[in-house]
Amino acid sequence: MPRKALVTARFAKDALAELGKHLEVRYESWFDRHYVLSEEELLERVRREGYDVLIVELERVSAEVLDGSDLSIVSICRNDPSKNIDLAKATERGVLVTYTPGRNANAVAELTVALMLAVLRKVVRADRRLRGGFTVSSFEDFVALRSELEGSELSGKTVGIVGLGKIGSRVAELLAGFNVRLLAYDPYVDSAKAEKLGVRLVSLEELLRESDIITLHVPPTPETVNLIGKREIDLMKPTAILLNLANPVVVDEDALYEALAQGRIAGAGLDVFTEEPVDSSNRFLKLDNVVVTPHIGGNTLETVHRQSWMVVEDLTLALKGEKPRRLLNPEVWERWRKRFSW
């Protein structure tokens, strides 16, 4: 039976305490350590200290790590763990792999709505003006500032959601109270789900032409690379706002920057970029019609708590001889259960 766990993911204290009832736990998160273990460092730690359970968030569990250790369970605190583990090798070796789908869906969806409102109401621009030493010396100064910061309301707008997975669906739910018209493009979603969310499914072209706000929530796949390029941006209204909280590969960044700088679209809210981590040199910060955040979509206390308990729930099930709920390689389960029978 598995007995020792190394946790390098961010983990909630109460979840760690619960995990400690079942396993001997060593907690060393990347957040507290301030760096991510290399594959070589990870293998050395696991092998030297005899861990058979590994819980990661940013580290990569490669074929070399799996071949060189006696791991029995790997839990990955990610929505998409494909970059964090060699799943084929784990399956070959009979290692259970669990993950945390939807752990940050609400967090990203809430930031999406926040960015919509921030761009529409010029919140960041207003804050910058006041922090930049602005003073009112005359009534004309007051009128000029009011004119510069005149925004638009979300109510009555058409919002186009590209991708109706967990995050896109949650965005639709959050917007239900804002009196907006919801369109969506997702070739993998049926009309029943869209109807339940109050969304009308349309083609990408129709969504781009009709939407006042376009928000992207698709995974990085070969078919979504440069999904929004110059041609697609040219289809948008000149008053349109584009939000990207999905992945930088989804948007042609150069085409977007040019369109924003030239005023061909009205604004953008961006949380993901080709070059990360983001700092003050980011070129989009030069544009007053853009709100930039440094990839903080899922960065909430609640996300950490949620991912921690998802992992603990699945590990507890496995240790009781019951199949975990979020198992990436279910074909391993019977083999694993027989190996660790009690």
Contact at 8 Å (CB) between 264 and 290? no
In the β-sheet with 181-185, what is the strand arrangement from edge to edge?
200-201, 181-185, 158-162, 213-216, 241-244, 267-270, 290-292
Domain boundaries, the chain: 4-103+301-339, 105-292
124 strand-pairing partners: none
Question: Using one digit for the tens of pLDDT, what is the confidence trace for 74-92?
Answer: 999 999 999 999 999 999 9
The angle at the Cα of 324, spanning 110 to 41, to the nearest 5 degrees, equals 80
Whole-angstrom Cα distance, residue 110 to residue 116? Answer: 10
Residue 73 has pLDDT above 60, yes or no: yes
Question: Using one digit for the tens of pLDDT, what is the confidence trace for 218-239?
Answer: 999 999 999 999 999 999 999 9
Question: Using one digit for the tens of pLDDT, what is the confidence trace for 261-271?
Answer: 999 999 999 99
Predicted confidence at residue 1, as pLDDT, reads: 75
Predicted confidence at residue 340, as pLDDT, reads: 83
Tokens standing for residue 153: 């309301």
* Fold type of domain 4-103+301-339: Rossmann fold (3.40.50)
Same fold: 4-103+301-339 with 105-292: yes
Residue 121 has pLDDT above 80, yes or no: yes
| DSSP H or E run through 74 | strand 73-76
For the chain, give percent helix, strand, coil, nearest 5. 45, 15, 40
| DSSP H or E run through 96 | strand 96-99
Whole-number Cα distances in Å, 261 to 141, 255, 279: 26, 10, 20
Predicted confidence at residue 2, as pLDDT, reads: 80
Cβ neighbourhood burial of 126 (10 Å; 0-12, 13-18, 19+): middle
Q: What pTM value is reported for the model? A: 0.94
Contact at 8 Å (CB) between 102 and 79? yes
Residue 341 has pLDDT above 90, yes or no: no
Whole-angstrom Cα distance, residue 137 to residue 141? Answer: 6
Phi, psi (deg, nearest 5) at residue 18: -65, -40
Question: Using one digit for the tens of pLDDT, what is the confidence trace for 2-60?
Answer: 899 999 999 999 999 999 999 999 999 999 999 999 999 999 999 999 999 999 999 99
Domain 105-292, CATH number (from 3.40.50.970, 3.65.10.10, 3.40.50.720, 3.40.50.2000): 3.40.50.720
Whole-number Cα distances in Å, 87 to 54, 241, 323, 330: 14, 39, 18, 11
Tell me the pLDDT of the chain averaged across its residues: 96
Residue 153 has pLDDT above 80, yes or no: yes
| DSSP H or E run through 204 | helix 204-210
Question: Using one digit for the tens of pLDDT, what is the confidence trace for 303-340?
Answer: 999 999 999 999 999 999 999 999 999 999 999 999 88
